[in-house]
């Protein structure tokens, strides 16, 4: 089981954006010092849900201020990026980090219309833009005298510079919020990232992912490698006792959920629309029991062991939840790396 920090810091007061950005950079550096494997960055605009807003710029800052930790996107919203500009930025960060970059891509948010309106993009085009952008980026990284004529872009260039540090190009991974998009990755023989789901749904999807790849003719080694490179998301908080963890984490999680739902309600009241209709059943991401691994080191290790049994490559863990102060989140990270993560390294070695 591999562990990573999904740095997804909310800033509920615009006056505190700079403070939260500074603290998030410190959080990434702390994870690097403690030997965590990966940092993931989000992209959300205009609403405070993600304080640093732009994962590309923030990844460059992290690449220059860390030494060994890998840096990825969960995800960059490709409908909002020009693919050639993005390809150049990715190769620059790949070079700065000496190959520590993972390019996590998604079509764009399914909830915040402000993201699309602010960039003048029709949300109905988001998926097609993602697919075309990914094709362009890979060709730009790996060919010379590249020409492309597509639905959204007509492109011609002699050679993309700088060339990727990682050969043939940085790893690309897709986020899959639904089962069908996950199956698309399985049929293509590619790894994926899963959003917050119950353990039951996580098991169902991972079993289906493996089964679909086998049915498409991928051998056992290919399937195992893709599972190893696939990640699932949970929030997390570790304290010395279960009671202390619940006291600090659950109110922060509830405030986070309320803040995000309030932004969606605001959009509906202003414009009379939702990008995605909410299900009658509460989403797992809004249910603390499903979404938060919370407790003492022993309790959290037990919860992670249940996910480990499912067979996933790694956990995308959000340590700083909602309005949680930086020092509180940093304490949770330190306790996790000291008392929880080593349990799984020992088991794997055994």
pLDDT of residue 175: 95
**Beta pairing class for 146-149 and 154-157:** antiparallel
pLDDT of residue 271: 81
Is the peptide bond preceding residue 162 cis, with omega within 30 degrees of 0? yes
Global confidence as pTM: 0.95
Mean pLDDT of 161-184: 96
pLDDT of residue 314: 97
**Measured at the alpha carbon of residue 182, what is the angle toward residues 176 and 186, in degrees to the nearest 5?**
140
Q: At what angle do helices 199-215 and 179-188 cross, to 10 degrees?
A: 30
* Tokens, residue 11: 């800033």
Work out the pLDDT band at 265, boundaries 50, 70, 90: confident
CA 196, 200, 202, 206: dihedral to nearest 10 degrees?
-170
Work out the pLDDT band at 272, boundaries 50, 70, 90: confident
Write the Ramachandran bin of 139: left for phi over 0, alpha for psi from -120 to 50, otherwise beta: alpha
Q: What is the pLDDT of residues 318-334, one digit of tens each?
A: 999 999 999 999 999 99
Is residue 163 within 8 A of residue 83, CB to CB? The reply is no
Work out the pLDDT band at 350, boundaries 50, 70, 90: very low
pLDDT of residue 67: 98
| Domain 2-349: CATH superfamily, name plus number | Luciferase-like domain (3.20.20.30)
Q: Which of helix, strand or coil describes residue 315?
A: strand
Whether 49 has a pLDDT exceeding 60, the answer reads: yes
Residue matched to tokens 């679909």: 212
* Tokens, residue 320: 């700083």
Work out the pLDDT band at 268, boundaries 50, 70, 90: confident
Whether 51 has a pLDDT exceeding 50, the answer reads: yes
* Helices (H), ranges, the chain: 17-34, 55-65, 83-96, 113-119, 126-142, 179-188, 199-215, 220-228, 242-271, 288-291, 297-310, 326-335, 341-349
pLDDT of residue 57: 98
Write the Ramachandran bin of 83: left for phi over 0, alpha for psi from -120 to 50, otherwise beta: alpha
List the chain domain ranges. Answer: 2-349
The rounded radius of gyration (Å) of the Cα atoms in the chain is 20
Cα distance between residue 9 and residue 15, in whole Å: 15
Is residue 62 within 8 A of residue 71, CB to CB? The reply is yes
Residue matched to tokens 């959920």: 257
Q: Which of helix, strand or coil describes residue 163?
A: coil
Q: For 25, how many CA atoms within 13 A lie in the half-sphere containing its CB? A: 15
pLDDT of residue 277: 63
Whether 1 has a pLDDT exceeding 70, the answer reads: yes
Q: What is the pLDDT of residues 66-100, one digit of tens each?
A: 999 999 999 999 999 999 999 999 999 999 999 99
Whether 348 has a pLDDT exceeding 90, the answer reads: no
Computed over every residue of the chain, the mean pLDDT equals: 94
Q: What is the pLDDT of residues 99-134, one digit of tens each?
A: 999 999 999 887 788 899 999 999 999 999 999 999
Three-state SS string across 215-266, please? HCCCCHHHHHHHHHCCEEEEEEEECCCHHHHHHHHHHHHHHHHHHHHHHHHH
Q: Which residue has the higher pLDDT, 249 or 262?
A: 249
Cα distance between residue 115 and residue 85, in whole Å: 19
Burial of 129 (0-12, 13-18, 19+ CB in 10 A): buried
Q: Which residues contact 332 (CB under 8 A, 6 or more apart)?
A: 236, 237, 238, 239, 319
**Measured at the alpha carbon of residue 131, what is the angle toward residues 127 and 137, in degrees to the nearest 5?**
135
**Beta pairing class for 38-41 and 2-7:** parallel
Q: What percent of the chain has pLDDT above 70? A: 96
Whether 349 has a pLDDT exceeding 80, the answer reads: no
Main-chain dihedrals φ then ψ at residue 348, nearest 5 degrees? -65, -40
Mean pLDDT of 234-262: 96
Q: Which residues contact 288 (CB under 8 A, 6 or more apart)?
A: 250, 253, 254, 294
């Amino acid at each position: 089981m591999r562990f990573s920090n999904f740095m997804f810091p909310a800033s509920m007061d615009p006056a505190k954006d700079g403070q939260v950005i500074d603290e998030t950079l410190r959080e990434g550096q702390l994870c690097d010092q403690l030997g965590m494997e990966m940092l993931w960055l989000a992209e959300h605009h205009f609403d405070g849900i993600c304080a640093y807003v732009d994962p590309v710029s923030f990844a460059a800052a992290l690449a220059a201020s860390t030494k060994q930790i890998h840096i990825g996107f969960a995800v960059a919203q490709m409908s909002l990026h020009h693919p050639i500009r993005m390809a150049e930025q990715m190769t620059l960060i790949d070079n700065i980090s000496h190959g520590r970059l993972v390019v996590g891509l998604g079509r764009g948010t399914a909830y915040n219309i402000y993201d699309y309106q602010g960039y003048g993009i029709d949300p109905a085009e988001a998926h097609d833009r993602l697919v075309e952008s990914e094709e362009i980026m890979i060709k730009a990284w790996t060919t010379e005298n590249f020409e492309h004529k597509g639905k959204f872009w007509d492109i011609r260039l002699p050679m993309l510079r700088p060339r990727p540090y990682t050969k043939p190009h940085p790893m690309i991974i897709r986020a899959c919020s639904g089962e069908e998009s996950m199956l698309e990755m399985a049929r293509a023989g590619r790894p994926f990232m899963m959003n917050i789901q119950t353990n039951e749904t996580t098991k169902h999807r991972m079993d289906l992912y493996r089964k679909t790849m086998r049915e498409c003719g991928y051998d056992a080694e290919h399937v195992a490698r893709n599972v190893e490179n696939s990640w699932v998301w949970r929030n997390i908080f570790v304290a010395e006792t279960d009671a202390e963890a619940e006291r600090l984490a659950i109110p922060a999680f509830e405030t986070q959920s309320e803040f995000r739902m309030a932004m969606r309600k605001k959009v509906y009241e202003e414009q009379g629309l939702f990008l995605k209709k909410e299900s009658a059943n509460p989403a797992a991401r809004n249910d603390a029991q499903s979404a938060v691994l919370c407790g003492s080191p022993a309790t959290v290790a037990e919860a992670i062991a249940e996910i480990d049994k499912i067979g996933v490559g790694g956990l995308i863990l959000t340590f700083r939840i909602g309005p949680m102060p930086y020092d509180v989140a940093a304490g949770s990270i330190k306790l996790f790396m000291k008392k929880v993560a080593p349990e799984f390294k020992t088991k794997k070695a055994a």
